[in-house]
Chain A
Amino acid sequence: MESMKDNTNGQWIILSGLVISLILIGLATLANQAVIAGYHSSNAALEFPKESIRELNSHTRDNARIIKDLTLHINSTSNDTVPFIYEGLFKNYSEQIEGLYALHGETADLTLVSVNSTNGTVNTSDIDMIFVNITYFDGNTYYSSRPEIIEVNE
């Protein structure tokens, strides 16, 4: 015990111990802050169904054009009128997309309102405006666009 009490060597070890402990305190504070920072903002960005709604909207727009092309194609070999074929194809499309959204616990509803043409000849390739009602609900977020006006004349 006596030799320990009188021995005053080892300042460098003690000093480095102090420095290391200070560095550790700093790092711990940093790590703590990084963990708690930004929970709510990240969670909001993840939970909000931005891409779902955007995709529903933009895919419906794309599809209105695809259906128009297909309608005119079918119309050339069929006796049915253009609006009649268009309605049938759109109903088929909306059933499929509603089913695919339902798989993820989201309600999507697409309803064709009307097929329009600016110069009044709906029965030919002049159709240029499609009105569609789009509704979306996932329990937290409700979105509706009624009507979404889609120009199909490219």
Chain B
Amino acid sequence: MKMLKDESGSSLLFEYILFSLICIGFFMVVSINSNEIFIQRPNEVVMEDEMSDIGNMMSTLITDIYLILPDNGKIETEYRIPEKVGKETYIINADIAYTDQIIEVVSSSGKTVRVTIGGIATTMPINGTVSSSSTYHMISYDSTR
């Protein structure tokens, strides 16, 4: 317990140098990683949220359309999606719906969010891809073809 009792510290000059070094080191670490910490991380969180939101929107639309499909006829609906999630463009891929019963939302950096469509694709064939770079899109179903 000698350490606890001894209250003398390092000399003022040495302490000053130590502190300066620590501060410089800290500043360097922060400035190197600032992009990762302050931009990328929040962007990832926002992207995750928005992509699953958009995936859910597609799933909702497809389920609603499935509920009101005409026996002989067609149904077409226009919808709008945001140009970017976070800071990236993205693609909605429904081509794997038939085999996997899911829709993929893939961002340009490769982040993927998958949303289930509950087995609808076994009775109603679903396919197509959508790129976010154009704003207007359409889902179309034609039972006569």
Provide the A45-60 mask, 1 if CB < 8 A to any CB of B, else 0: 1001010011001000
- Whether the Cβ atoms of A43 and B57 lie closer than 8 Å is yes
Contact of A148 among B56, B72, B76 (CB under 8 A): B72
| Residues of chain B contacted by A38 (CB below 8 angstroms) | 53, 56
- Whether the Cβ atoms of B60 and A44 lie closer than 8 Å is yes
Closest to A147 in B: B72
A141 to B68, CA, bound (A): 12
Q: A7 to chain B: closest CB distance in Å?
A: 19
| Residues of chain A contacted by B79 (CB below 8 angstroms) | 44, 140
A30 to B72, CA, bound (A): 47
Provide the B49-92 mask, 1 if CB < 8 A to any CB of A, else 0: 11001101101110011011011111111110110000000000
- Whether the Cβ atoms of B54 and A146 lie closer than 8 Å is no
- Whether the Cβ atoms of B57 and A44 lie closer than 8 Å is yes
Interface residues in B, total, Cβ within 8 A: 26
Report, as a range, how many residues of chain A touch the other chain: 20 to 34
Provide the B39-50 mask, 1 if CB < 8 A to any CB of A, else 0: 000000010011
Q: B45 to chain A: closest CB distance in Å?
A: 8
Whether a CB of chain B sits under 8 angstroms from the CB of A5 is no
Provide the A76-119 mask, 1 if CB < 8 A to any CB of B, else 0: 00000000000000000000000000000000000000000000
A-B contact pairs, 29 of them (CB 8 A): A36-B50, A37-B49, A39-B53, A40-B50, A40-B53, A40-B56, A40-B82, A41-B60, A44-B60, A44-B61, A45-B64, A48-B64, A48-B65, A53-B68, A54-B67, A54-B68, A57-B68, A57-B70, A140-B79, A141-B76, A141-B78, A143-B68, A143-B73, A143-B74, A144-B70, A144-B75, A145-B72, A146-B73, A149-B71
Q: Which chain A residues have a beta carbon within 8 Å of chain B's beta carbons?
A: 33, 36-41, 43-45, 48, 50, 53-54, 57, 134, 140-149
